[in-house]
Structure 1
Amino acid sequence: MSAISQLEVFQSMNASPNARLERCAELGDGLSAAIWSNSHDARDYHAPSHHTLSCYLNDGTGTFRRGAPGTTGAPDKLCVMPAGAESAWIVNGDIRLAHLYIGQEQFSLGCIRLLDREPRELQLHERTFLDDPQQAARFRQLVKLDWQEPGERIRTSTLAHDLIDHLLLNQVGLREGLRLKGGLAPTMRKRVADYIEQRLDQPLSLGELAMQTALSEYHFARMFRESFGMPPHQYVLARRVALAQRLLRDTRQPLSQVALACGFSSASHFANRFRSVVGGTPGEYRQAFEE
């Protein structure tokens, strides 16, 4: 079973006799995209485990939230549905829309990288029929690309990351009344993050990272996950791949040198890990930005 088919919003749309899936793709990094058409329908989403950003491409003027018929959609309107949110929709007439599904771990990485806050401190705000021309333009670009062609698929993934960065910078705020328990102290969190960033070209063990906080490996791993929203090894891999993407875009270093600079023991190991995260090989990624 594919990862996208297990996403709750995707499942709800796919279960409708009126909705039609035009195309979909898993973009790597816990991101997936889909384009749907629908008409004369009612859809409920019950606390999905992922975030969903949607953009209306055509029609939608007969679409509204159940209980709020006075506010309807339209082309280029956006909706932000955070993980855990309940929503119910009525579709009168026709609609065509694009969905971007965002996994919790990708959201966590953005919170740390862009906002320098622990993911559990922050909440993605729910928004209905939002006007954001910049985001709508990105969606328009995204739907024009061929998601199955390697180069265009990588451009699709890059646009998806741009959509997420904009979303994090504009639609995220502190959780109200939150009392954090456990996790790393802010100074420890920064120390560990800086330590990792400065040594991405070197082997990093759990014990070595735990030593930066004077915690046991077991306790450190638990506290790290609380603060970063993912295990240490997954965070390190994400930062290595991010560095590799930057080097592939901005330098002409051979792939073997990029692999070593990002802490991968061989070019083949680098290619396998990079593809598992990004959805394309390092060579395909570089080529996509040369065209």
Structure 2
Amino acid sequence: MLFNMRDSQPRTIGFQYPDRSVITMRLEGIGWEKAESEAYRWHGMKRGQEGAAIFQYTLSGRGELRIGEEVHSLPKNRAFLRTIPGDHEYYLPAGEPHWEFFFVTVHGDDALRHWRVLERKLGPIFELPPKSVPLEVLSSLYADIAGSSISDPYEISATLYRFVLELHRFADAGSQVRRDDIPEPLVQAVAVIRNRFHEDLSLDELAEASGLTKYHFCRSFQKYFGIKPMQYVRKIRIERAVWLLRHTDMKISVIGEACGFAHSNYFIKTFRSIIGSTPGDYRLKSGLPGFDRMEVELRPDAD
């Protein structure tokens, strides 16, 4: 449970800082609320706030989040991150009896920077287990503030930084899951990628190998691996190319073709975007350790 609901009541606590320039991640408000009227509606362009960052997590019931023309459902254990101003609004949808949620609103340049990165990593909405570390950090902060055992703005800021870093850890954990944790349909797709990375694989083929619809395959794959399926294909291809560059005298054009790149120019461009140098420059670098294997990490928003 996020916090002990039996021993407390929903409440929202606001903060005002006399010197807003000193602390780069400032808590504006933290609270636990229950909306029971369609009058509950917040629009990201009409709030009168500038430079705010919001995290909101559903405890029970259901809300909705509109971003542009897309509407996302927010059932139990779903969360979202948004910055203000922005073309979004969140609300209690028609026909829903209530939406109970936990939220935190922060200000500061660092807050906005981290929120934007996390939005790219986690997507418009994401599932967060009730016993996850980010929620435990916020739950403890809420309990301390509500119980008046913490008021120091620097200590609060330090806790907010921990919350943000734990969200980054949570977002990046998809690429660190154990094989036993990966659903069998994804294991089958990964086997196809690793065995046939040199072929002209398509997203449709990978989805078919998993036995899932393309939509559910893509969604599940990114949830468990932290990147999209075709990004994972490029990851495996580049890792193999790195090994061949370090351990063979094969021509670069031949290595590119052997790793699934039909055109040398595309191979060089992709290699440079991921590794930071061309294949030729990488091969010529002196002092590189003779790795038996290199793990290539890609950002979720990489092309």
TM-score normalised by structure 2 residue count: 0.40
Which protein has the bigger strand share? Answer: 1
Q: Normalising by the residue count of structure 1, what TM-score does the alignment of the two structures yield?
A: 0.41
